[in-house]
Amino acid sequence: MFCPHCGREMAVKTAFCTNCGKSLEILVAAPAAAPAPQLSMRESEIQLMQRTVDYFKQKEALYQEYDRTCAQVFKDAEGPSAGFIVWSIILSIVSVIFIYVGLFTYPAEGSHIGLGLGITGFLLAIGLIVIRNIKAAKCRDLLANSVNRYWSIYNELQAHYRAYPNCPVGMELTNPEILTVILHNLQSGRHDNIQGALMRVIRDADDDDLEDFVDDLGDIVLPGHAPKKTALFYTAKLFD
């Protein structure tokens, strides 16, 4: 209890204040502190997910670069373009025809045209082999550069993930665009917890696309039979 005159707290109930000596006709109880509001489970999950989104958005540009690099890895792994392959086939056919004509017309008729066609056919065949070897070497170099870039980005994103303790989602799902979809599922009221919102995102994605992405990318960037899921982040495109 408190003295209504000087505000001094009274240890026991008395008729007079021991501090100011005035009569204590009215005793005033100290106001009780208001209890802190309790967040619901969904509100707590939303706050946790919002912090997670904010943290991984720090690397949003790098995640976008990762997505582009994955696309480049797949492109480089395909090898020469379709146009180059078509022209290679055409030139191969032409060189065979020239060689055939040269071999069968020059010995019989002594035709200089036949000789010229035969030599041209041989030169075309040799040139085609050289060009294809150069193109194949260039494709291998491009793929090696893309894979090196992939690992550089992957290592940086992995370090960023490990620096965030108790992340509520797996590393492969930390692309900010994917996390934002999970957050929206929570905010919309469809789910009361992160796990439910996360499973909704995975169910909405195409299982075959996810599996193919893991298998195909793993075959390119991982040596031997290393676990494929340990070396990738899902791209945002898989969850469009």
Of 146, 164, 173, 166, the residue nearest 229 (C-alpha): 173
pLDDT cut 90: percent of the chain above it:
29
Q: What is the pLDDT of residue 140?
A: 84
Q: What is the pLDDT of residue 179?
A: 95
pLDDT digits (tens, 9 = 90+) for 198-233: 999 988 888 888 888 888 888 888 765 555 555 588
pTM of the model: 0.66
pLDDT digits (tens, 9 = 90+) for 13-58: 666 666 665 665 544 444 445 455 556 777 889 999 999 999 999 9
pLDDT cut 70: percent of the chain above it:
61
Q: What is the pLDDT of residue 37?
A: 56
Q: Residues 169, 198: contact at Cβ < 8 Å? A: yes
Tokens 């170099």 correspond to: 141
* Average pLDDT of the segment spanning 80-86: 61
Judge whether residue 91 has pLDDT over 80: no
